[in-house]
């Protein structure tokens, strides 16, 4: 799984603008559920969905007027086979 965090500028609190909306929509359209926060938007998904969403987000946000995109991708460690992720 890949955890993605991105921030699209220019950003005006309360009025995100079409470039921010385009970025968030790209993730929704790729089957991911973006969580819009006060400092960044985050989403988690498999590699294929994350790559598709990231590519579309960059393209669509820039076309809609973004001047800067800050992006962080982090691969989450996979649980060993047969382990119980629930603990105890």
| Assigned domain for 82 exists | no
Please check the confidence at residue 46 and state whether its pLDDT lies above 60.
Answer: yes
Task: Report the pLDDT value the prediction gives residue 15, as an integer from 0 to 100.
Answer: 82
| Assigned domain for 34 exists | yes
| Assigned domain for 54 exists | yes
Domain count of the chain?
1
| Assigned domain for 50 exists | yes
| Assigned domain for 80 exists | no
Task: Report the pLDDT value the prediction gives residue 86, as an integer from 0 to 100.
Answer: 54
- Nearest residue to 73 via CA among 54, 49, 48, 56: 54
* The model's pTM: 0.81
Q: Which domain holds residue 53?
A: 2-75
């Amino acid at each position: 799984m890949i955890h993605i965090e991105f921030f699209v500028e220019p950003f005006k609190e309360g009025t995100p603008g079409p470039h921010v909306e385009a970025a968030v929509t790209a993730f929704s359209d790729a089957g991911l559920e973006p969580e819009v926060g006060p400092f960044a938007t985050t989403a988690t998904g498999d590699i294929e969905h994350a790559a598709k969403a990231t590519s579309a987000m960059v393209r669509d946000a820039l076309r809609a007027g973004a001047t800067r995109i800050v992006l962080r991708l982090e691969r989450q460690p996979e649980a060993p086979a047969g382990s119980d992720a629930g603990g105890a």
